[in-house]
Amino acid sequence: MTQGNRIAFIRPKDWPLANRIVETVLREQFPDHPLDVFDVLQLVKKRPDILLVNLITTVLLYGPDLIKRKKKIRVAFWRTPYIFNQVKKLIRKKTANGQYRFSFQMQSLFDCSTPGLPHFLYTDHTHLENLNYVANQKANLFAASWIELEKTIYQNTDVNFVRSSNVQRSMIQDYHCTPERVKLVYAGSNASVSSIKTANTKYVDPHILFIGFDWKRKGGTDLVEAFKLVLEKHPNAKLTIVGAKPDLEIPNCEVVGPVKPEELDPYYQRASIFCLPTHLEPFGIVFIEAMSARLPIVATRVGAIPDFVEEGKNGWLVEPGDARGLAEGIMRLIENPNLAREFGEQSYQIIQERYSWEAVGRRFKEHIQHVLGR
């Protein structure tokens, strides 16, 4: 294939925010390569025939699970062999024209590679990594025919960039990728968070912050039970819930609901502890934001979280569903504000060393240039 000078940047859609941020990162790292953005959702929307056939396919493939509400149709829709192959065809029509130096794909829903064109992937998950979560069961996996196609995504990529060590391990063990083709590059913060703490600077006001939309999956009910235990010993403790909007009647608990990313900083600043006891988490970008704001962390030992929450260094980790363990971790920090401050400083140092988009961009560039120079 004749190689051009442009970059094909392929993403499922322009949300979540990381899909926009990585676009900017690539433009900054490769200023001499014009970048074209392809949103899969927009391409598919222009083809009502594909939408209709895939809707029928989704119902045929996942009908029982859809009826039992084990799967949501908007999620299952994008995990059929039919849509997988149709997206591959649509993307290749865009990229197999000799204009591009390489293609770069966000997330692992489709194989957006083009034969002869260097191709790179950046993802926070693999589907089979779900089996390592207690909250998941094998019955919750998508169709075996789709999983077989998912394997081709990683095999047809020159370098698979991942955010966390658990996903790196899954690609190597579950999908048989060679280690040199799976690079751990981490991720940065999506929200603009001040690194200089402007409120609760001595951590003496016991204020716990939860940020997450999926209340049940993020362990919200576990945190409520833990907070009730905390209030028994520390009746002045506060809990702020941002994102989700559960109906709660608990003293000292503020339910804020959805907040724009650019409006999150005041909540981080007022907090003295960040707690998100999630049961299933591909990455957890809010942890990076909380650590950027110099907060100690109380969380669960799942997914990517042990990569950035180091037990006894910047936080405490418990098993999913362990409300008493959460309460004990929170109270240890409430009862020792100096320790909370030390943990918060360690959180910030970990961010500085690994978790900035500038650093991620440099890692992208290093590995991409190595492939292009071969």
pLDDT in tens, 258-308: 999 899 999 999 999 999 999 998 899 999 999 999 999 999 999 999 999
Question: Can you tell me whether residue 321 is helix, strand or coil?
Answer: coil
97 DSSP β-pair partners:
none
Question: Can you tell me whether residue 264 is helix, strand or coil?
Answer: coil
DSSP string, 267-287: HHHH-SEEEE--S--S--HHH
Question: Can you tell me whether residue 171 is helix, strand or coil?
Answer: helix
Report the pLDDT value the prediction gives residue 78, as an integer from 0 to 100: 98
Measured CA to CA in angstroms, residue 341 lies from 141, 291, 297, 326, 346 at distances of: 41, 12, 11, 19, 9
The band of 351, judged by pLDDT with boundaries at 50, 70 and 90, is very high
pLDDT in tens, 232-260: 999 999 999 999 999 999 999 999 999 99
In the chain, what are the domains? 6-188+356-372 (3.40.50.2000), 207-354 (3.40.50.2000)
pLDDT higher than threshold 70 for residue 51: yes
Q: Are 112 and 119 in contact (CB under 8 A)?
A: yes
How far apart CA 181 and CA 67 sit, in angstroms, is 40
Percent of the chain with pLDDT over 90: 91
How far apart CA 100 and CA 282 sit, in angstroms, is 31
Report the pLDDT value the prediction gives residue 3, as an integer from 0 to 100: 77
DSSP state of 119: E
How far apart CA 202 and CA 199 sit, in angstroms, is 8
Report the pLDDT value the prediction gives residue 348, as an integer from 0 to 100: 96
The band of 140, judged by pLDDT with boundaries at 50, 70 and 90, is confident
The closest alpha carbon to 304, from 158, 137, 168, 188, belongs to 168
Question: Which H/E stretch holds residue 184?
Answer: strand 182-184
pLDDT in tens, 199-232: 999 999 999 999 999 999 999 999 999 999 999 9
- Residue found under tokens 């609901």: 257
Q: Are 212 and 290 in contact (CB under 8 A)?
A: no
Measured in degrees and rounded to the nearest 5, phi and psi for residue 266 equal -60, -35
The band of 80, judged by pLDDT with boundaries at 50, 70 and 90, is very high
